[in-house]
Amino acid sequence: MLSELENLAAPPPAADLEDEDLAAWEASFERDRQVWGELLAENIDRLERGSRSLHWTDTAASHWGTKVQPSSRGLTYNDINRSKAYGTVPERARYRNMAPRGAVRDRYLDRMPVFEAYTLLDRYEIWADNVSTLYEEAKSRQWNSTTDIPWAELEPASEDLEKAACQFATFLTEVEFVAGDFPARWVYKIPQDFFEVKNFLVTQMMDEARHMEVFRKRALAGGGGLLHVSPTFEWALKAILEAPTHTMGTYLLNVLGEGFVLSIFRAGEFLARTTVDREIFRRCLQDEARHVAYGTLELKSYLDHHPDRAVALERMHRFADVGEMVLLSGMTDPCLLEPVAVLMGGSIAAIDEGFEGIAFLWTTVREEYLERCDRAGFDRRERCKIPESLPGTS
């Protein structure tokens, strides 16, 4: 029976898919041969004749003469964007090609391909006013989990605490990289006009790769190992990764999901039983704070600049009604709550005392989430599906 189910769910052989994809790629270029074939012929002919074009030296249509000045922090995107010619971010991307914003491209449009993958054409779908600043911060605050965590100082812990630490690390190893997979799903759909967003999302992917790495290492470094995964976490991750729009997914990931994790990291002083854990939480916290800051202002930008704010609000509320419930399933899972309670209480025998700490943390998590929604202009206080108190404690 199991083999029948496996066969039913199995995708076509990779070789067949590869051949189909190659054939489709060949066909697409055959359709466009008139343009790229002419370009190739012109280039070869010019080289064979020993002719030089030098058309690229014509600056009449460019912004030649622009000079930007570094600030006290160096030469940032904000510094170069003070030039109107290069810093004006359009409300809608005019072209679906890879030409950099500000480059001369109009005169070549009839010979440029259209990148069908670029579908996020409206600024309000992806933009956040803090994105350039967050990108600069992300670059300056990168860290290395191999060398920046004092692994040699990992103190022996009781078996209860080590099991709890390893289970918590398993949870974080399981969930962290959806925050890398989700941007990867969208970053290639963003046109070059919004390169600041593309750049920032790539730093988020790098952050999440490092988080997955550091928590996997933590599970193994103390002499324990990875423990139990949970179906409820998986459903929550599926909801994020398969969100119908970038803004909806960003809200679910960065505003709600990573905001929840950020609140837990802020409680690190109650959870961390070793100096190693405190250092991990501290470093991950600064990364998560960037992601949450982007998600909050991206949601605000979406609502502020959508052509029909009322429609945008109602769609977001519909999405949040389901999204909060899906995330709630993960927030209440014993594979998360119980190890956190053990870490707070200090032992399995003190797990009930630890749950008293979780009950306090729960109200903080919920309120911080609602405050982020408030800042974005997305009032969820009357519709929020997350209970005001931890179930079983009211």
pLDDT of the residue at 204: 97
Domain that holds residue 349: 123-376
Do 224 and 160 meet the contact criterion of CB atoms below 8 Å apart?
no
pLDDT of the residue at 105: 84
pLDDT of the residue at 9: 55
Question: Where residue 310 sits, what CATH number does that domain have?
Answer: 1.10.620.20
pLDDT tens sequence across 257-312: 999 999 999 988 778 989 999 999 999 999 999 999 999 999 999 999 999 999 99
Q: Would 361 be classed as within a structural domain?
A: yes
pLDDT of the residue at 110: 86
Which residues are paired to 92 by β-bridges?
122
Measured distance CA(351)–CA(215) in Å, rounded: 23
Q: Would 218 be classed as within a structural domain?
A: yes
C-alpha distances in Å from residue 279, one per residue of 17, 162, 357: 45, 17, 21
Question: What is the pTM assigned to this prediction?
Answer: 0.91
DSSP-derived letter for residue 122 is B
Do 254 and 261 meet the contact criterion of CB atoms below 8 Å apart?
no
Number of domains in the chain: 1
Q: Would 40 be classed as within a structural domain?
A: no
Residue bearing tokens 């012929």: 41
DSSP-derived letter for residue 151 is G
Identify the three-state secondary structure at position 74.
strand
Q: Would 10 be classed as within a structural domain?
A: no
Q: Would 321 be classed as within a structural domain?
A: yes
Neighbours of 275 (CB within 10 A): 13
Q: Would 23 be classed as within a structural domain?
A: no
pLDDT of the residue at 11: 62
Judging by beta carbons within 10 Å of its beta carbon (0-12, 13-18, 19+), is residue 246 exposed, middle or buried?
buried
State the amino acid at position 21 in one-letter form. D
Q: Would 29 be classed as within a structural domain?
A: no
pLDDT of the residue at 7: 54
pLDDT of the residue at 5: 47
Which residues of the chain carry a pLDDT beneath 70?
Answer: 1-15, 394
Which residues are paired to 122 by β-bridges?
92
